[in-house]
Amino acid sequence: MRGKVPTCAAFDKLNIRLHVIKMQVTLLKSKLLRAEVTDRALHYEGSLAIDSALMKQIGLIPYEKILVANIANGERLETYAIEAPKGSHTISLNGAAAHKGQVGDLLVIMSFAQFEEAEARSWKPKVLVLGDGNKTVTRADNVLVAEDVFVDTSF
């Protein structure tokens, strides 16, 4: 025999755990739209430094994985967020990420989370639109973009 056979109690516990696992979907958790790159630091370890006040407003925590899209050149990268000083308006591409953009480029910074399907149906991400060198902030979550876009052609 290669290993121990689980006892009935251990098997039942495992079986119960397997039945509790539910399908999860990955949704947008938070987004900074039109974040302007204020600095690049090629010889830094890596990451994207973000003003800690902005991170707090969208619920982004230090070292959280993020997806970054550069509006100026179409580049996309995955990295992690680190805090820049509060109120500094800093968005800094660090390490290898510094090759993906220039000071002044506009970025979309996104984080994602996993939710059970029932919770996912009512989830609303935290979204901020930045402007004026990251000095102006507008809440943009749940903005109605269009209404009645489907035309009934059955008449």
Q: Where are the domains of the chain?
A: 30-139
For the chain, helix (H) and strand (E) counts, in that order, are 3, 9
pLDDT of residue 144: 40
Residue 99 in this model has a pLDDT that exceeds 50: yes
| b/e map 39-59, b = 16+ CB within 10 Å | ebeeebeebbbbbbebbeebe
Task: Give the architecture (CATH level 2) of 30-139.
Answer: Beta Barrel (2.40)
Known catalytic residue at 80? yes
Catalytically annotated residue among 44, 52, 80, 92: 80
In this predicted structure, which of 20-24, 107-111, 141-145 has the lowest mean pLDDT? 141-145
Q: How confident is the model at residue 42 (pLDDT cuts 50, 70, 90)?
A: very high
In this predicted structure, which of 13-22, 56-65, 74-83, 127-136 has the lowest mean pLDDT? 13-22
Catalytically annotated residue among 47, 52, 92, 111: 47
In this predicted structure, which of 17-26, 31-40, 88-97 has the lowest mean pLDDT? 17-26
